[in-house]
Structure 1
Amino acid sequence: MPKLFHKCWSVIKNIYLNAEKMVIGNVIQRTDNLYEQAKIKLLFDYAFFYIIILSCLQIVNIIAQNLVNLIVIPFMISMLIAGLMLIHKGVASNKVGSFISLATLITPMFSSLFNEQDLSPKYTMIWVMSILLCYITVNLRTALIWSGILCAYLGVVAYLKVNQLQIFVSPGYSPGFQYLANPIVAGMYLLFLIRALGQYYRNVIRMQHWNMMEQQKQQLTLVNQHLTKQFILVKGFSKSGRTAFSNGELELLDTCFSEIEKQCKTAIDYLNDPKVRL
């Protein structure tokens, strides 16, 4: 069993790396904005791993003969593939983020509605993730609009339940099946959440660290250039002072000492400046 799991994971990993290179390999190189690169990577991870999860869930729906999900899941997969194509074409990450997050917010609502208005974790988790994706890749305003859409749907469900209104219910999901499936599906979505959003924040932290290191390198270069200039001047005045001392030119020697002191003070003041501290 462990060997089979390892083999399956190796296959998925190879598919992931090849797909990543094909879809976003050139796109990331077009921008120097590290935050934009992180968002592109997040959108790819989100779409790719969600397609993997939906493919696994589709097998369950084939077994359970859930008519609604047999239609909804392929449609959602096609939306995610369309999102990947938009990324590959270089469409702005905020537009792709709006498209993917809205598709993964609205489409599960149809599945939920026609499966006895199911509000179990397999729906609520993806709704929350869709809104988080929108917030990260688009903006707060759009995320709030998406949240309003979700709240409106929950209001519709509440109205249907309170008034005991019946609509078409897809066969195949018995209460027992729901209870057994929830832990498995929730676990899959938690892994999805950790991999997609967790990896995004890791990438952001790495990029911030890289930026900090680059800034420190640039600052060190500036400090080195400034101090080198000061030391060259000090060396020149020191040489002139030795010549003046040998020739008995005390006035020139005093001037050289004054200049050396001045340059040393300038260097010390520069190092004590908060703007150049590392």
Structure 2
Amino acid sequence: MAGDLLDSQGRGEAQWGLPAIHPEGRKFGIAALGISLLFALFAWETLAWPMAFLSLGVFAFFRDPERVVPQDQNAIVSPADGRIVQITGVNPPRELVVDDGHGLPCLSDEPTIRVSIFMSVFDVHINRTPIAGMVQRLVYVPGQFLNAELDKASDENERQHILVERSDGVCVGFTQIAGLVARRIVPFVKPGDTLGVGQRVGLIRFGSRVDVYLPKGTSSRVMLGQRVVAGETVLAEIGSQRLLEGVSH
């Protein structure tokens, strides 16, 4: 299915298949499985079974399914699987605003809409770029490991800021934030890379959050509590501002 063109009128072919396991996670899963087999070899079944289930959990955590990415040039797609936990007006992070001395684009220091997505340990943790364009900034900031659902996690936790600029100059910044269990943010890209919308940019190990900073004049198309899918769910349309309401039931 990878690379196939599908549309809203039924063109293309939808197939089911087991998701791939990202290479970053295979070593952990294989190690846990190896320990389980070692325990089983010595007839330590009380230890072998828990390790076997742990290996399955690790493989599931690092799953990397294919996604059908919208090709609308105005769409900002979700960079992460998870639940919308915050939609609020804030000033963008300093790392995405200040001049870095290289004359590269940056975000305005004016308040903008931040959409925050919380990923539990059961969600896919491969992150994707919300727009197509060039990676202008990738800034890693060491920090704490507070609950990623807390508002202050955006400023105090270990995090990595990414700024992507489209060919027309529109920029979208987003931040990968480590959580209570997460201890490492793994990038797949570097400054200067050109990305297609929905392309994989990195992962966060074991529970985390991603903040997206929408361009000026753009409002969210998702609502608090809504579940989103990385590379598929449209978070916003550039230049579009309208109120959407929902009812939980």
TM-score by length of 2: 0.27
TM-score by length of 1: 0.25
In terms of fraction of residues, the more strand-rich structure is 2
In terms of fraction of residues, the more helix-rich structure is 1
